[in-house]
Chains A and B, each alone.
Chain A
Amino acid sequence: GAGVSQTPSNKVTEKGKYVELRCDPISGHTALYWYRQSLGQGPEFLIYFQGTGAADDSGLPNDRFFAVRPEGSVSTLKIQRTERGDSAVYLCASSPFRGGQDTQYFGPGTRLTVL
């Protein structure tokens, strides 16, 4: 079946602009995660949804970052007033239930470059 998809695959923007990154999880998966991988680092947790609600948003670095999942499926990560330090690969993952022991299935990521 279809895996996790993310769009766009690449996004180049200018400092100060607003961007939206989209994630389409595997159909039926209730848990959805956003991670960010900066150069030389492992993926770092941003936010976790269980259904429509954000169960844990403790990884969001500041209030410029926001994510929604209004119908419990597609999720959008929104970044306001982008900064050069936001440049990274943004990964989305979904899992059938609550994560932890469940495999998280990852999308290919969106590479964000802020000039």
Chain B
Amino acid sequence: ILNVEQSPQSLHVQEGDSTNFTCSFPSSNFYALHWYRWETAKSPEALFVMTLNGDEKKKGRISATLNTKEGYSYLYIKGSQPEDSATYLCAFAYQAGTALIFGKGTTLSVSS
């Protein structure tokens, strides 16, 4: 059974803090790793698709790294803002043409 684990389950930070989350996935049969941000009452929003070991991607204050050999990805948020409050989901694909296998997500709450 392919399993994706995310930690922490939730966290609360102050505005301006930097934070990071972890996504662990099977290191064998890797095809792609996706990160999504899901705000309440909205559609999950795609952040990154990562495919190569050592990939680093950045979008504004958010960045992500990928280690396919050991099966983990980190998502970093620099200088958190209240609008960053959301659930961050990672999802693993083990081959082309398959659905994504999601973790349970990390729920971030940023206080001003």
Contacts and interface: CB of A to CB of B under 8 A. Distances in A.
Interface stretch (A11-19, A44-52, A67-75, A77-85): A44-52
Contacts of B34: 103-104
B43 interface: yes
B100 A3 contact: no
Contacts, number: 74
Interface residues of B, number: 28
Interface stretch (B44-52, B68-76, B78-86): B44-52
A101 B97 CA distance: 9
Contact of B41 (A55, A98, A108): A108
A5 B1 CA distance: 31
B75 to A, nearest CB: 15
Interface string A33-50: 101000011111100101
Tell me if A's interface is mostly helix, strand, loop or mixed: loop
Given A43-B89, A101-B51, A55 B97 contact: yes
B105 to A, nearest CB: 6
Contacts of B102: 35, 42-44
- Interface size on A, as a range, is 20 to 34
Interface of B: 4, 6, 31-32, 34, 36, 41-46, 49, 51, 89, 91, 93, 95-105
9 contacts: A3-B43, A4-B43, A45-B100, A59-B99, A99-B93, A101-B96, A103-B46, A106-B44, A109-B43
